[in-house]
Amino acid sequence: VRREPLSLVNLRKRHSGSGDEDLASRIDNYKAKATRHIFLIRHSQYHTDAPREKDRTLTPLGREQAELTGLRLASLGLRFNKIVHSSMTRAVETTDIISKHLPGVSTVSTDLLREGARIEPDPPVSHWKPEAVQYYEDGARIEAAFRNYIHRADVKQQEDSYEIFICHANVIRYIVCRALQFPPEGWLRLSLNNGSITHLVVRPDGCVALRALGDTGFMPPDKISRS
């Protein structure tokens, strides 16, 4: 359901039957019919100086940002299907606030979307140099998140879907590069504000479009931050 329809046809039966018409009919059974709208939300501002991850809670400004993001999402008038969020404290708290503005939308927590260092950036930066082992540990996980969540709709899906993923800047930037088939090493060239909205569209044919990247135009200037 996540690959080219032809690759999903049974190889042994591919050349059997009544020929091209039969093959075309079987291929059609594997074609997605719906479009997926994926909203990637960066968590709000948080206390970066706390020694333990569980204590890195949202700042007062961060809570305001989450309220504004929740209001913005609600104002779109879309029927959101679900909210998937990182299990890190700042993402959980951001989700709690946003979900209040989207009553009835289920939330699911996952470790796959936790922050990390997926791949060494090119060009490199002097102020951020994770240990090499971190790329190995985080890399496979974040790539797994991309493969698990960014794909065309299931063939059984009849209507367009609208899904929210609340996570972290590094994860979102990497996903955007991968989804658009850009060199993933350039992920650090993208900048995302806290509480920002990035909107990806995955069409039935597998083509991906970026409708918004790090949008915070709905926030007053004094509420915008990137920490």
Task: Indicate whether 172 and 142 sit together in one domain.
Answer: yes
List, in order, residues 6 or more apart from 18 with CB less than 8 Å away: none
pLDDT of residue 190: 94
Q: Is the same domain home to 1 and 110?
A: no
Same structural domain, 15 and 83: no
pLDDT in tens, the chain (227 residues): 356 665 555 555 545 555 566 655 556 667 889 999 999 999 999 999 999 999 999 999 999 999 999 999 999 999 999 999 999 999 999 999 999 999 999 999 999 999 988 778 888 877 777 776 677 778 899 999 999 999 999 999 999 999 999 999 999 999 999 999 999 999 989 999 999 999 999 999 999 999 999 999 999 999 999 98
Question: Which of the 8 DSSP states describes residue 193?
Answer: -
Q: Is the domain of 6 the same as that of 76?
A: no
Domain enclosing residue 13, as ranges: 1-31
Let me know whether 3 and 99 are in one domain.
Answer: no
The conformational region for residue 179 under phi > 0 = left, psi -120 to 50 = alpha, else beta, is alpha
Q: Is the same domain home to 5 and 84?
A: no
- Considering the domain architecture, whether residues 3 and 101 belong to the same structural domain is answered as no
Q: Are residues 116 and 45 in the same domain?
A: yes
Q: b/e string for 113-138 if b means 16 or more Cβ within 10 A?
A: bbbbbbbebeeeeeeeeeeeeebeeb
What is d(CA 52, CA 168) in angstroms, rounded to the nearest whole number?
A: 17
User: Are 81 and 1 part of one and the same domain?
Assistant: no
pLDDT at 134: 76
pTM of the predicted structure, to 2 decimals:
0.87
Q: Dump strand ranges (E) for the chain.
A: 36-42, 82-86, 106-110, 161-167, 197-202, 208-215
| The one-letter amino acid at 208 | V
**CB of 218 closer than 8 Å to CB of 98:** no
Tokens of residue 76, six digits: 């779109």
Order of strands, edge to edge, in the sheet holding 106-110? 106-110, 82-86, 161-167, 36-42, 197-202, 208-215
Number of domains in the chain: 2
Looking at residue 119, which CATH number applies to its domain?
A: 3.40.50.1240
Q: What is the DSSP string of 28-91?
A: HTTS--S-EEEEEEEPPPB-TT-SSGGG-PBPHHHHHHHHHHHHHHHHTT----EEEEESSHHH
Region class of 181: left (phi > 0), else alpha (psi between -120 and 50), else beta: left
- The answer to whether residues 171 and 187 belong to one domain is yes
Q: Within this chain, do residues 6 and 106 fall inside the same structural domain, yes or no?
A: no
Q: What is the pLDDT at residue 119? A: 79
Q: Are residues 63 and 76 in the same domain?
A: yes
pLDDT, residue 121, reads 83
The radius of gyration of the chain from alpha carbons, rounded to an integer in Å, stands at 20
